[in-house]
Amino acid sequence: MKRKRRQDPRQTTFEFRPTGRGGARPGAGRPRVRKSRVPHRTREDIARGCPLLVTLRVLNGVPALRRARFVRAFRETLRKAAERPGFRVVHYSVQDDHAHFLVEADDKLSLANGMKSLGARFARCVNRVYERAGRVLATRFHHVVKRTPTEVRNALAYVLLNARKHYRERRGRKPPVVLDGASSGLWFDGWNGRSPPRLGKYADAFRRCEVAEPRTWLLETGWRRIGLVDPAEVPGTWGGRRAATA
């Protein structure tokens, strides 16, 4: 029987018929994810007795937060979340797209639970006031542990005078000495004696205190060893304390 000669392999071709799924097209592939400012890593343990500076940021497109109607509503909301077992919000300030808080937490779990409650109330307040729906916070909260009297003193100035920092960054000149109505500055008893002027459009919002009393030595007493806070300081800039007398 005669054996057939083996043929050389040849490359076959396939005709591509688009079906509407897959292939190169605008928007194809895995969606791009914006890199978070706060990496999803295991958070460090919290030393009991050390206050924390916590920041919440909102998404682009959320209306500016430094409006009287939001500040009034947020004060009422904060009164319900300022103190819970193992967690206290002692001071805060609200800026256009973020908010700073000085908090005390007994441990990492207390901080997580406290910030979960605060963040949820904060987001619901934004949506309620501005009659919107959907996500509000841009990322999970960022925190820094303050371990020394100097760090706590600087954190107090940074939070309560944060509006002065942003004023100088935007306008390039020294801001006027006024009490920030979108902060807990009215309840702060550590001003150095130069009292800021009275509140303006936020005045009717101050009916009763919305923040908790400090219980840690650092935030209640220890920071005073460094010096009281001057309302004319500009935190976050070179010579911030020196700028108060410039």
Give, for all 246 residues of the chain, the pLDDT tens digit.
566 666 666 666 666 566 666 556 666 656 554 555 555 455 566 788 899 999 999 999 999 999 999 999 999 999 988 999 999 999 999 999 999 999 999 999 999 999 999 999 999 999 999 999 999 999 989 999 999 999 999 999 999 999 999 888 888 888 888 889 899 998 999 998 766 555 555 555 566 789 999 999 999 999 999 999 999 998 876 555 544 433
CA-based angle 127:35:159, to the nearest 5? 55
Q: What is the pLDDT of residue 169?
A: 87
pLDDT for res 244: 47
Name the β-bridge partners of 89.
103
DSSP class of 191: B
State whether residue 105 is helix, strand or coil: strand
The continuous run of DSSP H or E covering 57 comes out as strand 52-57
CA 155, distance to chain mean position in Å, is 14
Burial (0-12, 13-18, 19+ Cβ within 10 Å), 163: buried
The pLDDT, as a whole number, for residue 48 is: 82
Cβ neighbors of 176 (< 8 A, separation 6 or more) are none
Q: Which amino acid is at 105?
A: A
Q: What is the pTM of this model?
A: 0.77
At how many degrees (to 10) do helices 108-129 and 68-79 cross? 140
